[in-house]
Chains A and B, each alone.
Chain A
Amino acid sequence: MALQDKYKELTDAATASGVTNLQVREQDGVLYIDGDAPGGAAKDRLWDIYNKIDPDFRAGDLVMNINVTGLIEGTKLKVVTQSSNLNIRKGPGTDQPIVGKAAHNEIVTLVSKSSDQWWLVRTDAGEEGYSYAQYLTPA
C-alpha cells in the first residue's frame, strides 16, 4: 500500500487525464501501472509527474507501461528523431536489415502496430517496413 500512496498523484492524474484500462498492481515491492493514454501529451504529463515523485527514476519501485491509443491504420506520423534519419527495417528489431530511411520531420503512414515498440510504416516514396515507435508521433 505504501507504494500506491507514494505514487497516488500519478494514478490520480492517470484517471483524471482519461487513461483507460488502468491497472495499478503491487507485486514483490514494485508498483506496476498499466493503461492506455488518449494522447501523447497525456502520457508525457504522467512521465513528468513520475520524474517529480522519483527524481531521475532512481528508486526502481515503479514500472509504468502507458501506451497511446487511438492510432489506427492510416494515421499520419511524424519522424521525431533528434536530427538523423529514421531506419525502416525488414522486421521488428535492430538486428533486422534496413530497407529504407525516413528523414527527420518526414511524415509517414502507420500500416500496423507490430508491438508497442515496433510499428509498420510506409513512406510517401512507397518504402514499407518497421520503425521504432519512440521516434514516431501523430502528425
Chain B
Amino acid sequence: MKRSILNYLIVLASATMIAATLSSCGPKDADIKAAVTKQMQAMPDMSGMTADVKDGVVTLSGEVKDDATKAMCETVAKGVAGVKSVVNNCTVAPPPPPPAAPVVIAADDPLTKGVTDAIKDFTGVKADVKDGVITLTGEIKKADLKTLMMSLNTLKPKKIDNQLVIK
C-alpha cells in the first residue's frame, strides 16, 4: 500500500514536471494568436484576416486584395515569437470590374447625315437633330415604324423623341 502511494506520487511529480517543461518552451497558442491578430489589425490591408493557432502553427484565413498582401501576412505572422510555421490560406480578392465607359453620343453633324439617310425612304417622316436628340415628326405606317427605329438606334443618338403620327 505504501509502495503504491509512492508510485502514485512519482507519477504525479513527473507529470507536473513534463507539463511545466512543455509550457515553458514558448508562448501559449492563445498568446500567439493574440499577438498575430494584433499585428494584422495594425495594418489596414490585413485587418480582415483571422489567425488560428495550434501547437505554434498559425493558419491564416480571410480575403486580401492582392498576392503581395497575402505574402506580407505570412511574413508578419512568421515574425511573431513562438510561431513555428504558417499555413497561408488567405484568398486573393478578384479584381473589381472596370467601371463602365460613358455612353458615346454621336456629334450632330454625322448624326444629321445618318438620320437623313435613314428617313430617305420613309415619305412623310421629318426629323430634327439637336444636341444628339432626334425628334421625329410627321406620319408613318405602323409597319414601317420598327424598321425606321432599328436604323435610327444604330446612329448613337442621345435619345429619340418619337412624335410620329401612326397611320
Contacts and interface: CB of A to CB of B under 8 A. Distances in A.
B159 A57 contact: no
Contacts of B156: 63, 65
A11 to B, nearest CB: 14
Interface of A: 23, 25, 27-28, 30, 32, 43, 47, 51, 56-58, 60-61, 63-67, 93-95, 116-118, 132-134
Given A94-B116, A117-B118, A57 B160 contact: yes
Nearest to B158: A30
B159 A63 contact: yes
Contacts of A118: 117
A60 B100 CA distance: 22
B146 interface: yes
Interface in B81-124: 100, 102-103, 113-114, 116-118, 120
Contacts, number: 63
A61 B159 CA distance: 7
B7 interface: no
B160 A117 contact: no
Contacts of B150: 43, 47, 134
The interface residues of chain B, by DSSP majority, are classed as helix
A65 B102 CA distance: 15
A14 B130 CA distance: 30
A63 B166 CA distance: 20
Contacts of A27: 102-103
Contacts of A56: 142, 145, 162, 166
Contacts of A25: 100, 102-103
B130 to A, nearest CB: 14
B145 A117 contact: no
